[in-house]
Each structure stands twice: as C-alpha cells, then as structure tokens.
C-alpha cells in the first residue's frame, strides 16, 4: 500500500510539473507598439518582443546594404531582419520580433514573423 501511495504521489507530481512547465513555455502574444513610440523611447523597448504594423519597404535594392523597414503612417521606420521579405515589399504588414538598437544600424526588429495584413 505504501508503494502505491508513493507511486501515485510521484505520478501526480510529474503531471503538475508538466502542466506548469507548459504554461511557462507557451508563446505569449507580444504587445502591439507604435513605431513612433518605440523610436522615441528605444532604450525602454530594447530587448522586448513587440508587434508593429505598417508598410514594408525595401531600401537600396540590389546593393550590399539592401534592407527592409516597416514604416508607420506617420513616417517612422523600424528596420526588419527576416528571410523572404521580397514578396511583401510595399504591402501592409504585421511584424513580430525583438527590438534592438545600435548606432551603426539604428532601430531594428529581429523579426520572428512578418505577415501581410488581412
């Protein structure tokens, strides 16, 4: 009987750990952020995962420094790093990723996803 109780307690413990672990690793929907707000207070947003919306635009096409940005309606931009962006050039998009900033490259979003808005 004692082995049975210990076995059940162990099984319940493992189930609890599994459930709690899955809660802590679930993807959390990143907060929506205004690109202008991120620009003006980039030090506050650096390292955070955010969702921004705007128009995807390509700069310096075909050159070594070709890059993409998401531009807000009021003209603020955040660079986007993600693969396969060419088909979305000029389209309204939602971009989700981690905010980074450095003097050389400026404000950037290391994008986990960039999708056309519906």
What confidence tens digit (pLDDT) does each residue in 70-93 have? Answer: 999 999 999 998 888 999 999 999
Domains and their CATH numbers in the chain:
31-116 (2.40.50.140)
58 with 70: CB under 8 angstroms?
no
- 56, exposed or middle or buried, with CB in 10 Å at 0-12, 13-18, 19+? buried
pTM strictly above 0.85: no
Give the mean pLDDT of the chain. 80
pLDDT 10s digits, 23-42:
333 355 678 999 999 999 98
117 with 32: CB under 8 angstroms?
no
32 with 51: CB under 8 angstroms?
yes
Rounded percentage of the chain residues whose pLDDT exceeds 70:
75
> Would you give the distance in Å from CA 104 to the centre of its chain?
21
CA distance 56 to 52: 11
């Amino acid at each position: 009987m004692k082995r049975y109780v210990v076995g059940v307690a162990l099984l319940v413990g493992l189930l609890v750990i599994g459930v709690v672990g899955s809660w802590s690793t679930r993807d959390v929907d990143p907060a929506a952020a205004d690109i202008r707000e991120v620009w003006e207070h980039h030090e506050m947003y650096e390292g955070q995962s955010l969702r921004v919306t705007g128009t995807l635009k390509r700069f310096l096409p075909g050159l070594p420094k070709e890059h993409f940005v998401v531009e807000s309606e009021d003209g603020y931009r955040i660079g986007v790093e993600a693969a396969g962006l060419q088909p979305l050039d000029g389209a309204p998009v939602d971009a989700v990723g981690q905010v980074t900033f450095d003097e050389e490259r400026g404000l950037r979003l290391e994008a986990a996803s960039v999708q056309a808005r519906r």
